[in-house]
Amino acid sequence: INQACLDLFGIDDISYIKDYNLFDDPQLTNEQKETIRAGRQLRFEAPFDFGKVTAYPTRHSGISWFRVVFSNLSGPTPGYMMQIEDITLQKKAEAALVESEKRYRLITENTSDIIWVMDVESGRFLYVSPSVERLRGYTVEEVMAEPAFEALTPESREKLNELIPKYVAEFLSGISKIYIDEIEQSRKDGTTVWTETSTRYVNDELTGKLIVYGVSRDISERKAAEAKMRVHELQFQRIIENLPNMLLIFNPDFDILYINRKGLELLRIKQNEVQTLNLLKDGILPADLIDSCQKELLQTGVLTDKELSITNPAGQKFWTLFSSLSINYQEKEAYLATLQDISYRKLMEDAILESEEKFRILAENSSAGIFIVYNGLFIYINQGLAEILGYSPKELIKKEAKDYIHSDYRKIVQSRAEARLNGEDVPAQYEIKVLTKNGETRWCELRAATIRLNNRLVNMGTLFDITDRKRSARALLEANEKLEKTLEVLQETQEKMLRQERLTAVGQVSAGIAHDFNNILSAILGFSDLLEFATEAQSPNMELIQQIKQSGQRAAKLVQQLLDFTSKGIRRPKPMNFTFFLKDSLPEIRALMNDDISVELSILEDDIEIEADTEQWQQIIANISSNAADAMPNGGRFLIMSEKVHNSQDISCSICQQPIDGEWLRVSFTDTGEGIKPELLRRVFEPFFTTKAIGRGTGLGLSQVLGIVSQYHGHIIIESEPG
């Protein structure tokens, strides 16, 4: 057993293990012992618990990881050779990397940004995060299968064709920075989406290729209405397999005297090449560190755990943990060295640093707020969250997270965070309001998850400020409501204007027709009077003459209705007591009604004097009463009211749409008939329009009412509902 092995097990005196028997060691399994006895080589990695050692005293405690190789020795004295190396640091590095990548993966998977990696030379994606499917509608596999530029619109493709060579040139000249560009990409449904893309160019240490790490964030709503989005990044680092230890002996001139099989494999040389190699001259060992190593060897005779970068004759470099001591080899001064390959550990350390650096770049360059909360306190926040809340990052660390949540949402956020830590299924994405430093309330979209950090389950989340989007949506809704109301008013006004124009046109035509008819009827009625005068009463022609005269009179009545509608009828106004007029008209009104219709008057008791044509008012009452009677074939109630009113401008005429304000005499006619549909109500004052059966009405009754009322500069309000 050499000194290195004694140090490895914490043994101060070799006499302590003089009675040690390999096959009695409880930390070896029976299967492993049988393998050794059979003369077969055995290698394994296992933890060694110093707390369970009782066979010999040791100064070590705790658990260490060892890689053990048993070999069968042939020769005069058969036996076994056991080579042990301490791989505890390597195991810790592997565990740290796994934890770092797990934390990085969980964080990137819970951000809405798209994280991607692209090979510059081929223009193809090496990695795209799953969030691309939400943004573009394509699966990760579909995106990876096509060149990256196929996802761009022609304009964005042309833009990047100009920018990328510039970025590459800057990177190759030693400038390393983050580039931010706005890019328009195509979606699977044929639409496009705008993204803000942050990129950084790096050389892949494993392949030597130039690659681009990118983060793309949806800014479509900001481009269209200053509003929405989010993205994910994932990173995978390949882990290089560790090489076995190398054992070699070299003289003070650094000529190799002996090298074992593992050394041959590491240096990639053959046995017959060993005698021609020199560790210094052939650049295997770094010359700048050899002087210090020699001094330490001369002073102590031992060199332990020195990290050295080794270069094999093929030009490949790898890191080793170099240990050496002075020996006498073939009666000459020499050095025995063991080189433990720690390239894997160094790569793991670099990967951890790179992983943490990428997370830092992702978090600190994201406009979204990223935070981690433990026991209700912020233990990490990025610059994005600090800017949303209006604080500096230092002001928020170790502060109660709930204090920055609006009271309307504080309870639900806390309860969901606790439920999530307990493994319950609760919504991971929802909208909340937060409080800023200046007292402002802002709307945010929260995406929450749990991650394990340093063996602790913590809450992690991202916040996106959607205040502007909320305001834009509210403003758009209000504008739409106002527009709809304006369109309704405009449509109603347009319809009323068309009706008025139609009534005016019909009135003009009716006036002309009525004038011509009056001329014809004057002749008919005049000649019928002459015939009646010249014919004896007993003549059989007298009945025919009277029928001609009656028909002419009915035609004259129709003409008068047309003239009244056009406001061109002959008007003979004179003072009249309107109260007495209504009372005197009651018998005539009842005569027009069926027996099962009750007629009621509700009129002013005061005498009301007006200047009007009595016959015209009788015609108004007769026309309206006749229509009411026809509307109540099964009986009902007909009420006539008169009253003095003082109107404000919120009451308008159903015909001319003008406001009816001031002092007025209002006469109301109300019946309990079948009512009129809204689409017919607007046409009831049109000449010749009627809903009655053929032969039961001329369609001129209400037109005549409208014409007479218009002659007195009055107004009409009509209201009706079916049923």
Which CATH number does the domain housing residue 497 bear?
1.10.287.130
Element holding 223 (H helix, E strand)? helix 220-225
- Identify whether residues 418 and 497 lie together within a single domain: no
Angle at 237 between CA 236 and CA 242, to 5 degrees: 145
pLDDT of 511 reads 59
The verdict on 653 and 546 lying in the same domain is no
Which neighbouring-strand residues pair with 373?
378, 459
Give domain status of residue 465, yes or no: no
pLDDT for 29-55, tens place per residue? 888 888 878 777 788 777 877 777 666
Question: Quick one: which of 670, 680, 686 has its CA closest to 722?
Answer: 680
Is the model's pLDDT at 371 over the cut of 60?
yes
Return phi, psi of residue 79, to 5°.
180, -160
Q: Same domain for 140 and 57? A: no
Average pLDDT, the chain: 78
Is 350 domain-assigned?
A: no
Grade residue 155 by pLDDT with cuts at 50, 70 and 90: very high
pLDDT, one tens digit per residue, over 589-612 is 888 888 888 888 888 777 778 888
Reported as a single tens digit per residue, the pLDDT across 661-695 is 888 888 889 998 888 887 777 777 777 677 776 65
Radius of gyration of the chain (CA): 53
**One-letter-per-residue 3-state SS of 32-43:** HHHHHHCCCCEE
Number of domains in the chain: 6
End position of a domain, from candidates 396, 423, 458: 458
Distance between CA 523 and CA 456 in Å, rounded? 114
3-state secondary structure of 215: strand
Q: Give me the percent of the chain exceeding a pLDDT of 70.
A: 79
Residues 646 and 674 in one domain: yes
Is position 93 within any domain? Answer: no
pLDDT: which is higher, 389 or 108: 389
Residue 235 lies in a domain: no
| Rounded mean pLDDT, 540-562 | 69
Report if residue 722 sits inside a domain: no
Domain shared by 453 and 501, yes or no? no
At residue 103, the pLDDT reads 64
- Residue tagged 């660390």 (tokens): 397
- Mean pLDDT, residues 530-548: 76
CB atoms inside a 10 Å sphere around CB 54: 8
Same domain, 403 and 476: no
Single pTM value for the model: 0.30
Greater model confidence, 723 or 503: 723
Same domain? For 250 and 279 the reply is yes
**Is 579 in the same domain as 610?**
yes
For residues 582 and 550, membership in a common domain is answered with no
Residues 58 and 146 in one domain: no
DSSP state for residue 55 in the 8-state scheme: S
Cβ atoms 111, 218 nearer than 8 A: no
pLDDT for residue 320: 80
In a domain, 240, yes or no: no
Together in a domain, 183 and 54: no
- Summarize the confidence of residues 206-221 as an average pLDDT: 84
Pair 650, 597 in one domain: yes
Instruction: Tell me how far CA of residue 45 lies from CA of 39, 61, 86, 363, in angstroms.
Output: 19, 19, 10, 38
- The confidence score (pLDDT) of residue 52 equals 73
φ, ψ of residue 275 to 5 degrees: the values are: -65, -15
DSSP label at 485? Answer: H
User: What would the pLDDT profile of 314-364 be if each residue is shown by its tens digit?
Assistant: 788 877 877 777 788 877 888 888 777 777 677 766 665 666 666 666 666
Within 10 angstroms of residue 626's Cβ, the number of other Cβ atoms is 15
Residue 183 lies in a domain: yes
To which H or E segment does residue 52 belong? none
Domain residues for the domain of 523 are 470-564
Burial class (CB in 10 A: 0-12, 13-18, 19+), 236: exposed
Tens digits of residue pLDDT in 467-523: 888 888 888 888 888 888 888 777 766 766 665 666 565 555 565 666 666 667 677
Q: Does 723 map to a domain?
A: no
